[in-house]
Amino acid sequence: MCCFINAKKTSQLRQRCCYTLYLHKRKCPFRGRWYFIKKSVSLQPKLNPPSMKFVDIKNDVAFRKIFGNENRKETLISFLNAILDFRDDQRITDVEILNPYQLPKLKGGKVTIIDVKATDQAGRTYIVEMQVGDADGFEQRVLYYSSKSYTDQIKRADFYRKLRPVIFIGILNFVHTANKRFLSRSQIRDVETGEQTIKDMEFTFVELPKFKKQLHELTTLSEKWVYFFKNAENLTVIPEDINDEGLVSAYEQANVFTWTKSELDAYDYAFMREEDARARMDKAIQKGEQKGRKEAEAKAAAEKAQLKREAAAKQAELKREAAAKETQLKREAAAKETQLKREAAAKETQMKREAAAEKAQLKREAAAKETQMIVNLSLLGIPPADISKVVGKTIEEVEQIIAKNKK
């Protein structure tokens, strides 16, 4: 058995093992301490199981090492049967792990790299992807990977009936669906009847953030697999109730003490790549935020200037309306004053006419009375000379009046 043993605990090791051979020492990439690689043969049973350190299964290198190992197919077979709930004749008994590189059929096409790709004894293709972050276009990428794997099964002039189902399995370290369960399966079905009319493509998602169960609460093999993905890096031993060969194999392959230096370097490099990608994303977000702030400030300044222009225009419009209203009021007042003057002049003219008419009427009445009086005096035999003295007219005027009114 090979493992790393802390140099400070050598004395404790000698108490449990009667033979220890130290080969060489190296620095552990996880704790920064110097450890000895040793090979020991125990002549008496150990009181406690050996301490183990598991890698983070979500790491690309770890994921592909565990599930893409051609010599440990039982791991992938157990995982697929558990997650897809395959039973009886549906169960996978053998898999062929395929090249994860999907090359384009046409020049200039897109090359895709998937985590694990395999086919089973029935010809079904399985794509297993570990997705840590919720990247833009994730759903379209899933469809692209699945469709490409489906169409790559046949060549030109082949019969369509040679096509076999493609099942995509995504282990997601983020919430993707509205389903409250951590495990969800999507199929192509009739909207009204629910009939599965197209059976050759299926999508299964394992959403790790939704999985809340503790070790003692695990009941099914699928739950134990999801617990392995989410919590293996925090464990120091393989849980006691793990009796599935494939899952035990997964824990054994995840044990960092069984990894070679080149594998550990690749594992660390994958983390560095993820950190670099995360740093680039953070930088892009910061730049986007800065750009957004600048755009927001520019937009706010533009809106403020626009509001000022609108306020000035409104104020000018109000002034114009007030001036127009004032001018209108002046016009109305002038028109009213002119109307009043015209009405007063017309009334004055009317009054003058009425006064003149009344005066003329009075004159006529006075003249008629005077004429009647002259006639009456004449009828009484009074001579014209005496009448003229009474009425203040000449004798000739009196005689004319008398002559005119004799009839």
- 192-247 pLDDT per residue, tens: 999 998 999 999 999 999 999 999 999 999 999 999 999 999 999 999 889 999 99
Cα separation, 30 vs 369, in Å, equals 148
- Give CA angle at 61 (175, 32), nearest 5°: 100
Give the three-state DSSP class for 39.
strand
Mean predicted lDDT score pLDDT of the chain: 81
Kindly state the average pLDDT of the residues 101-115.
Answer: 45
Q: For residue 388, what pLDDT is reported?
A: 82
383 pLDDT more than 80: yes
In degrees and rounded to multiples of 5, residue 161 shows phi and psi of -70, -15
Centroid of chain to Cα 238: 43
30 pLDDT more than 70: no
Kindly state the average pLDDT of the residues 5-29.
Answer: 37
Q: Which of 94-108, 234-248, 315-329, 357-371 has the lowest mean pLDDT?
A: 94-108
Cα separation, 94 vs 239, in Å, equals 26
Instruction: Judge whether 48 and 250 are in contact, CB under 8 Å.
Output: no
Cα separation, 271 vs 233, in Å, equals 14
pTM above 0.85, yes or no: no
Q: What is the DSSP string of 166-188?
A: EEEEEEESS--SS-SSSEEEEEE
Q: For residue 219, what pLDDT is reported?
A: 94
Q: For residue 278, what pLDDT is reported?
A: 66
Place of tokens 């002046």: 330
Cα separation, 103 vs 120, in Å, equals 21
Q: Which of 44-48, 55-59, 295-299, 316-320 has the lowest mean pLDDT?
A: 44-48
Identity of residue 374:
I
pLDDT in tens, 137-185: 889 999 998 999 999 888 888 898 899 999 999 999 999 999 999 999 9
> What single DSSP character describes residue 125?
E
Cα separation, 73 vs 76, in Å, equals 6
Cα separation, 185 vs 169, in Å, equals 9
Cα separation, 100 vs 89, in Å, equals 27
389 pLDDT more than 50: yes
Altogether, the residues listed in the chain come to a count of 407
Query: Where does 11-121 show beta strands of DSSP type E?
Result: 19-27, 34-41, 95-97, 101-102, 112-113, 116-120
57 pLDDT more than 70: yes
Place of tokens 């007219």: 393
pLDDT exceeding 90 applies to what percent of the chain?
Answer: 40
With a CB cutoff of 8 Å and minimum separation 6, the contacts of 80 are 86, 92, 95, 120, 126, 128, 169
